[in-house]
Every structure is written in structure tokens, then in C-alpha cells.
Structure 1
Amino acid sequence: MTPQQARDLVRSVFGDGIHAEVTGFPGGNLSLALCGSRHSATVDGHPDTGWAYTVDPGEDDGFTGHDQAADTLEEALRAIHGTLTE
């Protein structure tokens, strides 16, 4: 999955109401920072190994890990959809 494909998937799940910053890494991992009007989320992962995500991460959570996991990026995005679109 490319960063552009990830952006397209975010748009497909959320429409235009969510701001997404997508960073791709040489190994194929992606990192997404998503911002809604009142909430934010981070999603990190790779299509082959799965996706981990956190909604409303604290400033000190930086790189300490995520509290939720999903097999696909779409599954992760749909799991956080309700919170980000409040």
C-alpha cells in the first residue's frame, strides 16, 4: 500500500471531514495522523503485519505503542470512525 492509497482509503471511510497526514517508510510501513474536529488518532502498520492505532493519544504517548490493533487499515479506520466524526 502506498501513502496515496492510504489517503484514498481515509477519504473513502471518512469523506472530506478528516485531515490525514500519511508518512511512508522504505520498508513499506505507513504512519497516519488523523484529526477530526474534536478528536485525533494515530495509526501505524504494514499491510502484511497489521495495523495498530490509538484514539486521542497523549503527548507523552509518542512511541510507547498503541492500545488497539486491526488486521487491515480499513478495519482500523472503521474502528475509529465514530469517535473521529463526533
Structure 2
Amino acid sequence: MTTEDETRDAVHRILGDVHLELTEFPGGNISLTVSDDHHSATVDGHPVSGYGWTVDPGEDDGFTGHDQISPTLEDALEAVRAEFGLDED
């Protein structure tokens, strides 16, 4: 199970100084929203079932699920990093 502190550490290690809103549920599921000056992303999931994410969701995307899925939180955050353009110089 990923703890709230481990999740916060992973977000800041991979995405840097972003705004983070994090909810951890009793069953171990997490839901997080991260944002910087240009983008926002939501990531939802569990260590057993994987993590889904959406970057810059539209107003009509609420509660419709995620098109992108990763087996680990770190993989999902790396994909968000790429979509945020944080790897570009």
C-alpha cells in the first residue's frame, strides 16, 4: 500500500514544485490533482489495480474515467510529466 507521504514524495520528486491536492481512501485508493502555471492533471488508482490519469481535463470529463492507465504511480506521474512538457528544455 502506498502511504500519503510516499505519494507526496513521488509527486514532488517526479513533477517538482506543483500544487498538489491528495485524498487517500481507507482501502488504499488515492485520488490526486496536480497543477502548475499551465496544466492540471488528475490521477486516480490503487497499487494493485494501477493508476489512470488525465491531463487538462475538460469541464465535461468529470467522473468519466481515464483514457491512460499505468501499472504504477511512478509510471503515471512520469507520463503526466511528459504531457506537462517538463522534460523539454
Fold shared by both chains (TM-score > 0.5): yes
Give yes or no for the alignment of 1:8 onto 2:6.
no
Secondary structure of 1:64's aligned partner: coil
| Aligned residue in 2 for 1:56 | 56
- Corresponding residue pairs, total: 85
| Aligned residue in 1 for 2:67 | 67
How far apart are residue 14 of structure 1 and its match?
A: 1.6
Q: Any gaps of 5 or more consecutive residues in structure 2?
A: none
- Please give the per-residue CA displacement for 1:54-76, whole angstroms capped at 9, x wherever unaligned: 01111121111011000000000
Aligned residue identity for 2:11: V
Please give the alpha-carbon distance, in whole angstroms, between the structure 1 residues aligned to 2:54 and 2:16: 20
| Cα-Cα RMSD | 1.2
| Aligned residue in 2 for 1:33 | 33
Please give the alpha-carbon distance, in whole angstroms, between the structure 2 residues aligned to 1:15 and 1:38: 14
Secondary structure of 2:42's aligned partner: strand
Please give the alpha-carbon distance, in whole angstroms, between the structure 1 residues aligned to 2:3 and 2:61: 26
Q: Any gaps of 5 or more consecutive residues in structure 1?
A: none
What TM-score do the two structures reach when normalised by structure 2?
0.89
Identity between Structure 1 and Structure 2 (%): 56
Please give the alpha-carbon distance, in whole angstroms, between the structure 2 residues aligned to 1:70 and 1:22: 18
What TM-score do the two structures reach when normalised by structure 1?
0.92
Aligned residue identity for 1:45: G
| Aligned residue in 2 for 1:78 | 78
Divergent runs of 4+, >4 A:
none
How far apart are residue 82 of structure 1 and its match?
A: 2.5
Q: Which has the higher contact order (CA 8 A, sep 6+)?
A: 1
Aligned residue identity for 1:68: Q
Please give the alpha-carbon distance, in whole angstroms, between the structure 1 residues aligned to 2:34 and 2:27: 22
